[in-house]
């Protein structure tokens, strides 16, 4: 992008877990890596802005798909966890793949030409609580 001199857009994939602590020893590394991804996004935005390259991240909550449905519905404990998280989300639902794709499409479009260095939450309002 730099050598072409035309600018461009970079979209990093992050997660709601970059901003919200999640219980469970196995999730420490995941949450930390997503928080690092958000900082990398901001640093890249500052460094690459002079080349007219915008850098943002998209941070979805749980995204429903066939894999996730099986994962969350698998047993009673998981079902309760999913229901609790969904109930804490103001829109009372998880994201769908199209919700994430719409955020990415917007960030890649000319409609967002002044947006750079941001982490766009696709979380139904969870982080706003």
In the chain, alpha helices (H): 28-48, 66-73, 76-88, 97-108
- Residue-wise burial string across 4-18, b where 16 or more C-beta atoms lie within 10 A, e elsewhere: eeeeebbbbebbbbb
Chain centre to alpha carbon of residue 13: 6
Q: Provide the annotated active-site residues.
A: 30
What are 53's strand-pairing partners?
8
Please provide residue 59's backbone torsions phi and psi, each rounded to the nearest 5 degrees: -120, 85
């Amino acid at each position: 992008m730099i050598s072409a001199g035309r600018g461009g857009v970079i979209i990093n994939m992050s997660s709601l877990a970059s901003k919200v602590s999640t219980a469970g020893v196995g999730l420490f590394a995941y949450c930390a890596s997503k928080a690092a991804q958000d900082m990398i996004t901001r640093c890249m935005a500052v460094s690459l802005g002079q080349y007219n390259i915008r850098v943002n991240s998209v941070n979805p909550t749980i995204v429903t798909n066939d894999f996730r449905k099986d994962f969350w519905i698998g047993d009673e404990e998981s079902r309760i966890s999913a229901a609790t998280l969904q109930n804490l989300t103001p829109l009372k639902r998880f994201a769908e793949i199209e919700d994430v794709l719409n955020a990415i499409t917007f960030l890649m479009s000319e409609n967002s030409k002044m947006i750079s260095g941001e982490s766009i939450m696709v979380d139904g309002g969870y982080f706003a609580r």
